[in-house]
Structure 1
Amino acid sequence: MKKNIFLSLLFVFFLAFSAFSQTEEEQVEAVIKSLFDGMRTKNAEQVAAAFSPEAIMQTIAAKPEGNTVASNSATDFAKRIGATPAETQLDERILDYQIKVDGAMASAWTPYRFYLNGNFSHCGVNSFQLVKMADGWKIVYIIDTRRKEPCEE
């Protein structure tokens, strides 16, 4: 019994030490991964937890008459993800993480490919701005591009 308690405490200590030993870049990457994991599982709470309450989302859309920018709140985005029909599969696959950190501010550049119901939909790049708050890194701004080609592999 004492051995089990000791092993349990040792395991908890190891997990806590691992969490604290993550670099700032790894912590930022974990927030972004959590966002897309939440999107895949349609977990609105997990998606919302990645953002600050005032976060802004924008998408650059290429149009024949010129580029336009569409804006959205992260709160509305999380609600829409949670309301996605069960049979709809959303899968944004991040191809690379280029993360820069300066104190409490971080920037991440993440090329991606997006799949809807297992079929390629579009590709582009996300540009995240994050701030380290009392409860950890939070996304305060994201802008992305969307296109059919050319796409990274």
Structure 2
Amino acid sequence: MYDGDSSRAHDLFQTDAKLYTIYLRNDSTQFHRGEVSQFLTAIGTAHEFKWIEKSWNYKISVDGGLGQVWCDYAFFAGDSFSHCGVDAFQLVHTTEGWRIFSLADTRRKEACIFPTGAYFEPK
């Protein structure tokens, strides 16, 4: 994402992968389904500021060809904090390696918990 390299990001996904975002609006849980093609276009489009996503606190589970990664993240546009949440990746092991078949994330601007002393804490 940082380099704006959508072709590199493309190689991480199964062709029929699904993207989901869960967030609160007016005290109501909202659910948005996105398309990988739109996500890749957004990554590859020039922006005024670099998109930076920092992640930590990984929880990884594997059973045969199924993998799951759950982690906290914070998203920045340049040095400006945008939002935080959790990324939940579902992966399948293919002949080309591990590929994402589902990615769900939460998004919020408040109640973000950053690792103590992290160099990316919002200013």
Alignment TM-score > 0.5, same fold: yes
- Please state which structure has a larger fraction of its residues in strand: 2
Equivalence map 1:1-153=2 (5 Å)? 39-64=1-26, 66-85=28-47, 87-153=48-114
- Aligned identity (percent) is 33
* RMSD of equivalent CA atoms: 1.1
Q: Distance in 2 between matches of 1:84 and 1:51?
A: 21
The TM-score, its normalising length taken from structure 1, stands at: 0.71
- Aligned structure 1 segments of 4 or more residues deviating by more than 2 angstroms: none
- Gapped regions of structure 1 (runs ≥ 5): 1-38
Aligned residue pair count: 114
**Residue aligned with 1:125, SS:** strand
Relative CO higher for 1 or 2, CA cutoff 8 Å, sep ≥ 6? 2
- Gapped regions of structure 2 (runs ≥ 5): 115-123
Structure 1 residue 52 displacement after superposition: 0.6
The TM-score, its normalising length taken from structure 2, stands at: 0.88
